[in-house]
């Protein structure tokens, strides 16, 4: 970013408080960096909000704030996470995400180069998910009042015509599908933290899930009863939420739970249970038993669903509880996550 000071060009490479003042430098940041990167006609009007036409129907609206540390990690960065996260939350409502907002909190002194890098991955992620970032806000706080950058994304989308998914819709007999391996994101962040040094090829699974959800809800709208992405709290907590909302029991099989070998190794080493580790590109689908194989086949066709498998079923027994048949043949209760495993995971 170049500014003129008494006729001389001066290049600013750090975010200044003035970038958040609402005045000239804010304008420069918005019109020279943000708007060109997210280039789209709705955003470019630069009014107090975005304005667009919508059809009559059912809308989904979701919000999520990202405070992940470190902000760059194998497989993605905070910007990609922020776009995919809200895209996925809307998809999990049974909707097709369309428009996103981006609210930035930036620490004074943050590198403008890093900011541009993050904004560009946000744009790339939005393009991949086929959504538009149409409105935004930038706040700058003094050094020490925030750590580097936090990003809020909110988004809206239209619910698919015949879709009727909700956490409360699981029915006894329904099959439980997971779209791929567990714990990749959380373990990736963990291995990047200061003091930890693992030489691994593990990377975050951050990915948009709206395209596979679209296929599922277009081809089998009545068969899909629940969609949920097991982010913070992991698969264990998400299953508990479903069991609780649906007032049904859930039984899963330890041997069927997909975990990458390397991820499983680190979990074992550090005493973490992959059932409680965050995922950022996976979903749980609760599906009619008679259609489960067809739905699973459809998920397998998607680039983010190749490792999908059925991990259990909904039961009449023990409403509100999740049970797991362990590898050695026993049965144990899978409770919600208690205690913080790792702060700033997303």
Range 18-57, binding a second copy (CB under 8 A)? 18, 20-27, 45-57
Q: Does 338 bind a second copy (CB under 8 A)?
A: yes
Q: What are the residues whose beta carbons fall under 8 Å from the beta carbon of 307, sequence distance 6 or more?
A: 179, 180, 181, 258
Q: Does 262 bind a second copy (CB under 8 A)?
A: no
Q: Which is nearer to a second copy, 106 or 263 (CB)?
A: 106
The least distance separating a second copy from the CB of residue 178, rounded to whole angstroms, comes to 16
Cα–Cα distances (Å) from 13 to 4, 38, 105, 264, in that order, read: 14, 20, 17, 41
Structure tokens at 254: 């330890």
By C-alpha distance, which of 73, 75, 16, 14 is closest to 344?
A: 73
Among 96, 121, 167, 313, binds a second copy (CB under 8 A): 167
Q: Does 102 bind a second copy (CB under 8 A)?
A: yes
Q: Which is nearer to a second copy, 4 or 328 (CB)?
A: 4
The least distance separating a second copy from the CB of residue 283, rounded to whole angstroms, comes to 10
- Cα torsion at 270, 192, 146, 238 (round to 10°)? -50
Judged by CB under 8 A, the chain residues 290 through 329 that form the site for a second copy are none
Is 236:337 a contact under the CB 8 Å cutoff? yes
The least distance separating a second copy from the CB of residue 176, rounded to whole angstroms, comes to 17
Neighbours of 168 (CB within 10 A): 14
Q: Which is nearer to a second copy, 166 or 259 (CB)?
A: 166
By C-alpha distance, which of 150, 165, 271 is closest to 209?
A: 165
Cα–Cα distances (Å) from 71 to 16, 148, 164, in that order, read: 19, 8, 36
Q: Which is nearer to a second copy, 165 or 181 (CB)?
A: 165
**Which one of 15-23, 114-122, 123-131, 289-297 is the stretch in contact with a second copy (CB under 8 A)?**
15-23
Q: Does 70 bind a second copy (CB under 8 A)?
A: no
Judged by CB under 8 A, the chain residues 195 through 224 that form the site for a second copy are none
Judged by CB under 8 A, the chain residues 270 through 289 that form the site for a second copy are 276, 278
Going by the DSSP 8-state scheme, the letter that residue 267 receives in this structure is H
Rounded to an integer, what distance in angstroms lies between the CA atom of residue 103 and that of residue 315?
Answer: 42
The least distance separating a second copy from the CB of residue 199, rounded to whole angstroms, comes to 26
Packing angle, helices 210-219 and 78-92, rounded to 10:
10
Is 148:107 a contact under the CB 8 Å cutoff? yes
Q: Site size for a second copy, by CB under 8 A?
A: 89
Is there a cis peptide before residue 153, judged by omega within 30 degrees of 0? no
Q: Does 104 bind a second copy (CB under 8 A)?
A: yes
Q: Which is nearer to a second copy, 293 or 335 (CB)?
A: 335
Q: Which is nearer to a second copy, 42 or 200 (CB)?
A: 42
Among 81, 83, 92, 239, binds a second copy (CB under 8 A): 92
Q: Does 64 bind a second copy (CB under 8 A)?
A: yes
Q: Does 232 bind a second copy (CB under 8 A)?
A: yes
Rounded to an integer, what distance in angstroms lies between the CA atom of residue 328 and that of residue 319?
Answer: 25
Is 307:264 a contact under the CB 8 Å cutoff? no
Judged by CB under 8 A, the chain residues 233 through 252 that form the site for a second copy are 233-234, 237, 241, 245
Neighbours of 256 (CB within 10 A): 13
The least distance separating a second copy from the CB of residue 337, rounded to whole angstroms, comes to 3
Judged by CB under 8 A, the chain residues 112 through 151 that form the site for a second copy are 134-137, 139-142, 144-147, 150
């Amino acid at each position: 970013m170049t500014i003129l000071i008494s006729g001389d060009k001066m290049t600013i490479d750090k975010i200044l408080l003035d970038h958040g003042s609402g005045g000239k430098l804010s304008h420069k940041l918005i019109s020279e960096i943000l708007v060109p990167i997210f280039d789209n006609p709705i955003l470019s009007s630069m009014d107090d909000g975005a304005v667009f036409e919508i059809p009559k129907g059912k809308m989904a609206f979701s919000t999520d704030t990202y405070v992940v540390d470190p902000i760059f990690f194998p497989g993605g960065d905070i910007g990609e996470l922020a776009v995919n996260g809200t895209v996925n939350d809307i998809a999990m409502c049974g909707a097709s995400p369309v428009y996103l907002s981006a609210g930035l909190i930036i620490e004074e002194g943050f590198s403008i180069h890093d900011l541009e890098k993050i904004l560009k991955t946000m744009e790339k992620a939005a393009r991949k998910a086929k959504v538009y970032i149409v409105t935004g806000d930038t706040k700058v706080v003094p050094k020490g009042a925030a750590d580097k950058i936090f990003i809020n994304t909110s988004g809206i989308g239209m619910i698919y015509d015949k879709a009727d998914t909700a956490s409360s819709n699981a029915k006894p007999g329904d099959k439980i599908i997971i779209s791929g391996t567990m714990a990749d994101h959380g373990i990736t962040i963990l291995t990047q933290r200061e003091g930890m040094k693992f030489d691994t090829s593990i990377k975050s699974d951050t990915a948009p899930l709206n395209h596979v959800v679209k296929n599922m809800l277009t081809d089998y709208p009545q068969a899909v009863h629940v969609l949920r992405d097991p982010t913070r709290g992991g698969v264990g907590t998400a299953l508990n939420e479903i069991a609780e909302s649906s007032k049904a029991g859930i039984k899963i099989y330890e041997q069927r739970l997909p975990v990458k070998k390397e991820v499983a190794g680190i979990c074992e080493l550090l005493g973490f249970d992959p059932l409680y580790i965050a995922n950022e590109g996976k979903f749980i689908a609760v599906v009619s038993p008679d259609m489960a194989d067809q739905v699973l086949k459809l998920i397998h066709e998607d680039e983010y669903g190749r490792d999908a498998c059925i991990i259990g079923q909904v039961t009449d027994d023990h409403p509100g509880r999740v049970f797991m048949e362990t590898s050695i043949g026993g049965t144990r209760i899978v409770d919600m996550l208690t205690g913080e495993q790792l702060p700033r995971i997303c």
